[in-house]
Amino acid sequence: MKVLVVGNGGREHAIAWKVSQSPLVKELYCAKGNAGTIKIAKSVPTDPLRIEELAEFAKKEGIDFTIVGPEAPIVAGITEEFEKRGLRIFAPNQKASMLEGSKAFAKDFMQKYSIPTAEFHVFDEAQKAKNFIRDFGLPVVIKADGLASGKGVFICKSYEEALRTIDDLMIKGVLGEAGKKIVIEEFLEGEEASYIVMLNGDKYVPLPTSQDHKRLLDGDKGPNTGGMGAYSPNPFVDEQREKSIRELIIERVIKGLKEEGIYYRGFLYVGLMLTDRGPKVLEFNVRLGDPEAQPLLMRIRGDFLKALVDFYEGKHISLDTDPRHTICVVLASKGYPQKPEDGKEIFGLEKVEKEDVIIFHAGTELKNDKVITKGGRVLNVCAWGNTLKEAQEKVYRAIENIRFEGMQFRRDIGYRALNFLSKVPD
Ligand code: AMP
Ligand code: GLY
């Protein structure tokens, strides 16, 4: 088979790595790819958002199966572009992508189908939002309606901060169109979980559980980012919780999609807060998470491409999971998430011990045989361990070898689970 992976990040490198192990693959392409994917896939020089060009390329090249990483091409309609040319693509259509593309749409959908989520109100006028917020408790969560690469959520601890955020989004337009409409919602407390399933109509298969660290700084401080690190499994999702996630959320989403006449085929990511009143949905994403995909795919055994293709075709599949723990730590550029610096040479990659460690590239490119930074999140250093602690030790040992100017990363990925596990008797 000829397989195309769409996207440039760590998630796409991990997808390409997993797919490349399948005996079904004859040729593997990545659009556009990075300095890591180039070693296992041919780079296609087309930006993931040029969806018509990509579909034309796939048609001409005879691509048999396409897997899409990021949300932007999905929201732009890549699935329709491929499907109208008779091409197989594993990604939801544009209508379904509204679950991620518009937070207001997602919240209304959840309300309509009794899917547990934070209490909320939607506004498209700044003054009304400001008047409303006065009577809402603190902290208050303000979310840009549209896509913002994980940077459109603001947790405001004071009214002044909330008013400023409303001004920034709705008047100054710091996030452009994405912030012209906002969702104001109740602040939820608990542990977070990323619960990702493969969905095809009314069939679904859960992927291994994970937890992401979205804040920039240690101790979950600082601004929200696309994700600074993740690990799998997530010990907070025990059997009982998983059962309620499936019954109260996944199965209701499937029912809701059916009633709305929306056909969904692709990955569905549910971002959850595990509150003491049960799991509540923070967000839906119509794709795999980044960086969650990295530790999660590292735990899937066997031929993942075959499983995907069979699942796409409506066959029953089951996934075999590696019981070991996996972890991923993101190395980011100076200035990330606001204004990342590019063009720094990366040193030491060759010094990293490969045993139980793997590096997925994100914002990197090859220039004169040198690996150069290009983007906010640059590298994903990942490891396997018999325990989470062991995986964490291996990953941080590996990172000691790597450097580039301005490199920033969190030194505590996994700490929440480790604290929790240390209190649970064996
Ligand atoms: P989202 O993109 O909606 O998942 O939000 C990004 C991050 O903001 C989440 O992973 C949470 O850490 C935080 N967050 C979002 N909504 C809430 C909420 N209602 N209460 C508390 N934290 C939230
Ligand atoms: N890591 C969170 C996301 O992919 O949206």
Q: How far apart are CA 74 and CA 288, in angstroms?
A: 12
CB of 212 sitting under 6 A from ligand 2: yes
User: Per the CATH hierarchy, to which homologous superfamily does domain 125-180 belong?
Assistant: ATP-grasp fold, A domain (3.30.1490.20)
Of all protein residues, the one whose alpha carbon is nearest to atom 5 of ligand 2 is 289
- Spell out the domain ranges in the chain: 2-93, 125-180, 191-422
The continuous run of DSSP H or E covering 415 comes out as: helix 415-423
Q: How far apart are CA 327 and CA 210, in angstroms?
A: 9
Nearest-atom number in ligand 2 for the CA of 292 is 1
CA of 189 relative to ligand 1 center, distance in Å: 10
Report which bound ligand comes closest to the CA of 191: 1
pTM of the model: 0.96
The CATH number fitting domain 2-93, selected from 3.40.50.1000, 3.40.30.10, 3.30.390.30, 3.40.50.20:
3.40.50.20
CB of 71 sitting under 6 A from ligand 2: no
**Angle (nearest 5°) at CA 242 between 313 and 218:** 105
353 or 349: which leads in pLDDT: 349
* Predicted local distance difference test score (pLDDT) of residue 425: 67
* Interval 48-105: pLDDT, tens: 999 999 999 999 999 999 999 999 999 999 999 999 999 999 999 999 999 999 999 9
CA distances from 135 to 5, 166, 184, 217, 324 (A): 47, 15, 12, 31, 48
Of all protein residues, the one whose alpha carbon is nearest to atom 13 of ligand 1 is 153
* Interval 140-166: pLDDT, tens: 999 999 998 777 999 999 999 999 999
The CATH number fitting domain 191-422, selected from 3.30.470.20, 2.40.30.10, 3.40.1640.10, 3.30.450.20:
3.30.470.20
* Interval 310-340: pLDDT, tens: 999 999 999 999 999 999 999 999 999 989 9
- Tokens 């994405």 identify what position? 178
Q: Give the number of other Cβ atoms within 10 Å of residue 36's Cβ.
A: 27
Residues 316 and 344: beta-carbon distance below 8 Å? no
